[in-house]
Amino acid sequence: MKPFIFLFLITLVPYSSPAFSENGDEKILFSSQEFISYWDSTSPKFNKLKNKLEKDFQRFDKSEKFLKMIFYRSQLHLLYDYDQYASIEELIESGKFDCVSGSLLMASFLDFFGFEYKIIETSFHVFLLVQLDNQQVILESTDSFNGFISEEEEITQYLDKFKSEAINNTLYLHPDQKVINSLLKPSVYRTIDLQKLKGLEHFNKAIHYNNQNDLKKALEEAKKAEIFYESDRISTLKQLIQSQLSLAVND
């Protein structure tokens, strides 16, 4: 029987949407403007949220008050039910979401309204760090009650927790596959952009299909992930899936 690698990795979600563009030989780039425009024209719920936020922005501009509107209105109108593998389509259509789809939604609005912010990728999570004139704010999309973090001490504690995990975490794999631990480099704490966030969606989808033993779809998603995000663990995952496919053919 061919060997099968079952992966437990970052809790991210897949995303597929026409909201991207390709220009000549340039890589496909995620566009928050196209993302918002597409869903604004196809989803009444999204359209309602966008319209409310535009009115809020006229009143509060780029302030902490308006950030609260982005966070809590997103929770109220779209983010209903946490689901590990929910796509952005599921988020908008049924309210299912995860840290990546939730962060992608809020980051797109931050882009749209001109905020300075960072997308923080960690070993098992993604969140947003917004810079205002004299303070920082964390938007933790998966916590509707305590996910808007603006107190300096709470922000420091929150960030330190993930920085510590990046140092101490190890990847859990089947005991026979522990050698892959160092290759996939799961101990992560870094800033990424929207394009790389989209790559992580495909990366996680590749893992999802791999764990279902659908290696062809897993390889397709790994290749898409690599287009958006050139990273060691995405490249390694693709090679592992290719190896498993080769073994399956020769089995």
* 33 and 154 inside one domain: yes
Q: Quote the pTM value.
A: 0.81
Task: Please identify, among 158, 180, 201, the residue that sits at the C-terminal boundary of a domain.
Answer: 158
Structural domain total, the chain = 2
Residue 11, domain member (yes or no): no
Domain membership of residue 222 as a residue range: 193-250
pLDDT 10s digits, 139-148: 999 999 999 9
* 91 and 206 inside one domain: no
- The CATH number of the domain where 36 resides is what? 3.10.620
* 62 and 143 inside one domain: yes
What SS3 class is residue 7?
A: strand
Residue 21, domain member (yes or no): no
Amino acid at 114: G
Positive or negative, the CA dihedral 62, 63, 64, 67 is negative
Residue 237, domain member (yes or no): yes
Amino acid at 181: N
pLDDT 10s digits, 151-184: 999 999 999 988 887 666 544 445 445 445 544 5
pLDDT 10s digits, 16-63: 443 334 444 445 578 899 999 999 999 999 999 999 999 999 999 999
